[in-house]
Chain A
Amino acid sequence: MTMLLANIKKELLLLSRDRMSLLVLFVMPMLLVLILSLVQDDLFRATGGAATTALFVNRDEGELGGELEKSLQGNGALDLVQSLNGEGLDIKSARQAVFEGDFQFAIIVPVAFSAEINKSAETAVKSALRHQQKIPFSSKITVIFDPAVRGVYRSAVLNALQLGVVGLELSRKGAAFERLLPQELQRSMGQQLGALAPSGSQPELPKISFNWTEQSLIELNEELASPEKYATLPTSVQQNVPAWTLFGMFFIVIPLAGTLIRERQEGTLTRLMTMPVSNGSLLLGKVVAHLLICLIQFGLMLLVGRFILPLLGTPVLELGSDPVALILVAVSAALAACGFGILVGVVARSYDQAAIFGSVSIVIAGALGGVMVPVYVMPRFMQDLSIFSPLGWGLEAFLDIFVRNGTVVTVFPQVIALGSFFLLSIMIALVIFNRWRRGH
């Protein structure tokens, strides 16, 4: 125990002397979480995780432009902006904002939109009742796109807009039908009965109500393919903050492996190997010191998610209801990262090897584990592979806590998996270390 404490103290002392590295260890992961969460927030929105922001220029002199706006806002797919810097939008300023990349879309509703739609609806109903030809488009809504916008993003906006326009058309056609059908029946009956038509009084026609847009006949029942796995989907922050936090924590692998390699290169490890100190104590001293660093990193990154990201427009990170489970997952993830760091430090022959192998393997494990793209949007084949990623285990456990109010029991399998990964890494490292020490 004395040896272990001596080794922990030495490691902490060495870390504290390298202030620049310490700054990098704490500041870089925070920046990573901050920047990548913001960048990914945009992607998350594009893939349906949140509303898309678009400029909305309503030039309509009637009421239908406003109705369209309410309809678009109401379905939750679009978040409409109608003024910039306190000033109302016109076509020129909207086009300029999209051109400059401040917004990706602008929806322009023309001046005579209401008049044209009402007129067209009436024409369309009349044509239908009289079996006449299809009528041409009568009004045009313009959507200005940033050319750099991805297809999926563009489709999301067009679909939302199409939904709003169809609803509007249906309501106007319904209203025209309500009004025109009795007139048309009167007219038709008059023509057919001719002189037989009763004079002085009109026949009583049934009253028609066409309020169909608010009465859906078909209910859309959203059901996830794996409800037991993805019962509730996370917000962008709930997905991104734990994902990039884990990614940042696992980068402890490089400085940790570096301490072992430096000791080997500078000869201190050789000296230590001639002393009555156990291999376990040497390696565990490094693990414990770097575990503390990881946990401080974790705390700082959660603070970023809880207090700094919301200032930049993202939702607040909700931490779930079981802090013990949260700490347990954080410690087991940090242990897994430190165990892997020790293994890399023992296997790699130079700092360059450790840095390249360590960082590439973390990026691969991060990609497989759903750090860059959530596992539920990956192809099935990749979803199956994600079970091999320690970052994936950690992320799933964090999502269980943040999104599904998971408890210690819920995250127990992931904690066991992360703990086992740590033990396996340390055991392999110890076998190699013992071989060195036995002078093979």
Chain B
Amino acid sequence: MKQVENPTILATENLHKIYRGAANPAIDGLALNVSKGSIFGLLGPNGAGKTTTISILCTLLQPTSGRATILEHDVVGDAAAVRRKIGLVPQDIALYASLTARENLRYFARILKVEKALIKARIDESLELVGLADCADQPISTYSGGMKRRANLAVAILHHPAILFLDEPTVGIDTQSRSLILENLVELNRRGMTLIYTTHYMEEAQQICDEVAIIDGGRVIACGEPRQLIAAAPESKNLEGLFLQLTGKQLRDRME
């Protein structure tokens, strides 16, 4: 695991979000600092506030109070600037199923304002990275679950975002596809991209994250390098053990 000493690329201060009609806040004074060039894992049980946090950081949701900045741009006041710097791999396969992967990528490249002269090269590069170059001209609807997840990733990296948000990018796919996606993420990070990564697979987080924040009830309950966090809790053998120790074993089924 590399030593991260880079400047802050993402910061939140006392971030709160209370949904209309909800009894409890979804986020309750969240404070995060993410270093440039790191892979930052945002971990937590269902309903902990991960997706709400990602939604606020991606300008999809406004916080009730508090502040969040990306590359010093306020996510509320300067949302347009933030959108030019970020990429999002949503949990859903957010692609047009009747179009081919290449057609999807071409459309999103134009929306992401990739220079016209660079579009073809960026599409080829993204397809190559996720291993879909050979079937790029097939409709997405014909793809397997793993291929769809990889195509979902390819769209988000077309414009070389400074920071890439990944909301459970490996959910529901086979081991091979998951392994390839994780390799891709490490490669993207090696090229300088900062990754904010949410997952329920603790071994994945332990494997690739430089730093993790475990959140529950909308608050950060532990934050640091996975190795140091595990070392600080002798009764936990790994990140999963630590996670269960901190968040408990009770089920977190919650009505939205």
Contact = CB atoms under 8 A, between A and B. Distances in A.
Nearest to A275: B111
B83 A276 contact: yes
A266 interface: yes
Given A2-B110, A275-B112, A270 B98 contact: no
Interface stretch (B35-43, B55-63, B173-181, B198-206): B55-63
B93 interface: yes
Interface string B70-114: 000000000010011010101111111111000100011011110
Contact of A17 (B58, B84, B99, B110): B99
Given A13-B103, A277-B111, A439 B94 contact: no
Nearest to B54: A274
Contact of B108 (A13, A18, A275, A439): A275
A271 B112 contact: no
B60 A270 contact: yes
A17 B90 contact: no
Interface residues of A, number: 25
Given A18-B98, A274-B83, A3 B111 contact: yes
Contact of A271 (B97, B98, B99, B155): B155
B107 A271 contact: no
A266 B140 CA distance: 13
Contacts of A17: 98-99, 139
Interface string A1-26: 01100110110011001100000000
A156 B113 CA distance: 69
Contacts of B84: 276
Contacts of B55: 439
A10 B98 contact: no
Interface string A382-404: 00000000000000000000000
Contacts of A14: 96, 98-99
12 contacts: A7-B111, A18-B98, A266-B97, A267-B94, A268-B94, A268-B96, A270-B90, A274-B60, A274-B88, A276-B112, A439-B56, A439-B61
Contact of B86 (A6, A268, A274, A277): A274
A129 interface: no
Contacts of B97: 266
Interface in A257-310: 266-268, 270-277
Interface in B100-133: 103, 107-108, 110-113
Contacts of A271: 88, 90, 94, 108, 155
Given A17-B99, A439-B55, A272 B83 contact: no
A438 B79 CA distance: 9
Interface of A: 2-3, 6-7, 9-10, 13-14, 17-18, 266-268, 270-277, 437-440
A276 B58 CA distance: 11
Given A266-B92, A274-B59, A6 B83 contact: no
Interface residues of B, number: 31
A23 to B, nearest CB: 15
Nearest to B107: A10
A18 B113 CA distance: 27
A6 B84 CA distance: 17
B104 to A, nearest CB: 9
A9 B108 CA distance: 12
Given A268-B94, A274-B59, A439-B60, 6 more contacts: A3-B111, A6-B110, A13-B103, A270-B92, A273-B59, A276-B80
A9 B103 CA distance: 10
Contacts of B61: 439
Given A271-B155, A439-B56, A439-B62, A266 B94 contact: yes
Contacts of A437: 60
A268 B62 contact: no
Nearest to B109: A6
A381 to B, nearest CB: 43
Given A3-B111, A14-B99, A275-B108, A267 B60 contact: no
B145 to A, nearest CB: 15
Contacts of B93: 266-267
B94 to A, nearest CB: 4
Contacts of A266: 92-94, 97
Contacts of A267: 90-94
A273 B80 CA distance: 10
Interface string B45-66: 0000000000110111110000
A272 B111 contact: yes
Nearest to A273: B60
A6 B99 contact: no
10 nearest A-B residue pairs (beta carbon): A267-B92, A439-B61, A267-B94, A6-B110, A17-B98, A271-B94, A439-B62, A274-B58, A276-B83, A274-B88
A440 B59 CA distance: 11
A437 B83 CA distance: 12
Contact of A440 (B62, B86, B88, B90): B62
**Most chain B CB neighbours (cut-off 10 Å) among A2, A13, A266, A275:** A275
B98 A6 contact: no
Contact of A270 (B94, B103, B113): B94
